[in-house]
Homo-oligomer: A and B are copies of this chain.
Amino acid sequence: MNFSSKLLQHAVEEFGRLPGIGNKTALRLVLHLLKQSDQEVSRFTQAIDQLKEKIQYCQECYNISDEPICEICRSIKRDKSTICVVEDTRDVMAIENTNQYQGVYHVLGGLISPMDGIGPSDLKIEGLLERLRKGEVKEVILALSATMEGDTTIFYLYRKLREFDVEVSTIARGIAFGGELEYVDEITLGRSILTRVPYERNSSWK
């Protein structure tokens, strides 16, 4: 792109570094910001600067929090003997939205991915083992993405968790609700037959 201004070019390049934002989208966003008032633009940049500056992570579960211990870890209603291990805070939000889980979380902050240079030491795995050493945890649920990185991380964690007296489970994989059999990929379909469950457990007719 031929920019008429270096300042404009610089701002567009910075926006273009964000994931999923190409050059054309970046330019559209920057031109949109240029049309806003000074107050609106500084509110935008201050929100980001403040987040980056003041962000805290819960000392228990490493979820993003405004306090040293997050609301979920502080709550007396949550079952502290069950830990659900997730990749990041988006997964916590997604699971919380289901209203199906009463335990606590552990946020890894990523998945093992040799391609991206992310190894086990880059994740909050030691913090998880520390929590298990206290001996109060009975079950660890590995709720990670059904991807290569997710599977690698599950395998690594499983070997670490075997040393403890805890039950280790992974969330069920299979056909999504509303999914039509003929469009399901072979691996999912094959696995869903192998890991079939008794009708009573899977049915919502109780």
Taking beta carbons and an 8 Å cutoff, which residues of A are in contact with B? 1-8, 10-11, 13-15, 17-21, 25, 27-34, 38, 41-45, 47-52, 54-56, 58, 63-66, 70-72, 88-90, 92-93, 96-97
Which chain B residues border A65 with CB–CB below 8 Å? 4-5
Query: What are 11 A-B residue pairs whose CB atoms fall within 8 Å in the complex?
Result: A1-B93, A4-B64, A4-B72, A5-B55, A14-B47, A20-B28, A30-B48, A30-B51, A33-B51, A34-B64, A41-B49
Most-contacted residue by chain B among A5, A28, A29, A55 (CB, 10 A): A5
Least CB distance from A176 to B in Å reads: 18
Contact of A52 among B27, B28, B38 (CB under 8 A): B38
CB <8 Å contact, A3 and B93: yes
Q: Which residue on B lies nearest to A41, using beta carbons? A: B52
Number of copies of this chain that the complex holds: 2
Chain B residues contacting A88 (CB-CB under 8 Å) are: 31
Given A7-B55, A27-B90, A93-B2: A14 and B48 interface contact (C-beta under 8 Å): yes
Residue of B nearest to A38 (CB): B52
- Residues in B neighbouring A20, C-beta threshold 8 A: 25, 28-29
- Structural contact, B14 and A64, CB atoms closer than 8 A: no
A32 CB to closest chain B CB (Å) equals 5
Chain B residues closer than 8 Å to A89, beta-carbon distance: 4, 8, 31
Cβ contacts under 8 Å, A1 to chain B: 93
A1, chain B: closest CB distance, angstroms: 6
Partner of A51, one of B4, B8, B28: B8
B2, A64: Cβ atoms closer than 8 Å = no
Question: Which residues of chain B are within 8 angstroms of A41 by Cβ–Cβ distance?
Answer: 48-49, 52
Most buried by B among A33, A64, A93: A64
